[in-house]
Amino acid sequence: MWIEPVTAGAGMLQEMQALAADAAAIQPAASTDEPQVSGAAPADFGSYLSTAINSVNQQQLDASSNQRAIETGESTDMVGTMVSIQKASLSFSALVQTRNKVMSGLDDVMNMGL
């Protein structure tokens, strides 16, 4: 088994630094789902969580209204209704999994011995 010396990775380090500089120069496009923050202050986790909950709630409401429209005969868009129901279901599942991960991380932090 051959192990390369540390000095052999110098070229890779320079390439990674160049890629990091390129990535820092690119500004991401503004998304409508993310909360808008003024100035250089980062958005807190609570605002992201609130935005996610509101988005999931809106998808649930849209799916419910589409389903009601199908049931009452106001709409015949069965495919669109099924897609909106599946989107709402997946969004809710992702939100629950995120909550579970956050709670698990919080439990781990609380159980740490200092």
* pLDDT score of 11: 63
How far from the centroid of its chain's Cα atoms is residue 46's Cα?
Answer: 14
* pLDDT score of 47: 86
* pLDDT score of 33: 54
* pLDDT score of 44: 82
pLDDT at 9 over 90: no
In tens, the pLDDT along 41-98 reads 567 878 888 898 999 999 999 999 999 999 999 988 999 999 999 999 999 999 999 9
* pLDDT score of 13: 67
Average pLDDT rounded to a whole number, residues 5-33:
63
